[in-house]
């Protein structure tokens, strides 16, 4: 994990978003089921990023500095997996955390919509 944090910029970005999701979840007091979905989304993205890093490292080791169409395809597919996982996580945030945040805002303003 230390290597990922130190060498992979995108992994660090995903960790920051994971921490923000957890903090927001604490603020809006997610239910146990909602926490399970948050945990699933976070681990799905982190796992996809780890697998992407593995694929990229193996491809770089095998191919070296020369260009190979198959190597590019392998890297693109691995990156696409991360994108799909992040897309799922983003949709969850929009649908669940946004609605919970809106509820908390309405409760804190006495049910009045401000804006």
- For 52-90, b/e burial (b = at least 16 CB within 10 A) is bbebbeebeeeeeeeeeeebeebbeebbebbeebbeebe
Q: Active site residue: 34, 49, 65, 68, which one?
A: 49
Token pair for residue 102?
Answer: 């809106």
Taking the C-alpha atoms of residue 26 and residue 18, their distance in angstroms, rounded to an integer, is 12
User: What is residue 2's predicted lDDT score, i.e. its pLDDT?
Assistant: 73
What does the pLDDT read at residue 107?
52
What pLDDT was estimated at residue 20?
Answer: 87
pTM: 0.72
Interval 22-80: pLDDT, tens = 888 888 888 888 888 888 888 998 899 899 989 998 999 999 888 889 999 999 999 99
109 confidence band (pLDDT: 50, 70, 90): very low
pLDDT value of position 111: 47
Residue 49 annotated as catalytic: yes
Task: Looking at the structure, give the CATH architecture of the domain made up of residues 2-108.
Answer: Orthogonal Bundle (1.10)
What are the sequence ranges of the domains in the chain?
Answer: 2-108
């Amino acid at each position: 994990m230390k290597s990922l944090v130190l060498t992979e910029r995108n992994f660090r970005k995903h960790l920051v978003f994971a921490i923000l999701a957890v903090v927001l979840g604490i603020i809006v007091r997610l239910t146990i089921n909602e926490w399970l979905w948050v945990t699933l989304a976070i681990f799905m993205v982190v796992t996809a990023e780890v697998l992407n890093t593995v694929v990229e490292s193996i491809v770089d080791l095998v191919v070296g500095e020369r260009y190979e169409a198959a190597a590019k395809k392998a890297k693109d597919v691995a990156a696409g997996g991360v994108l799909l996982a992040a897309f799922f996580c983003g949709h969850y945030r929009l649908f669940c955390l946004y609605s919970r945040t809106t509820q908390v805002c309405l409760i804190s303003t006495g049910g009045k919509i401000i804006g």
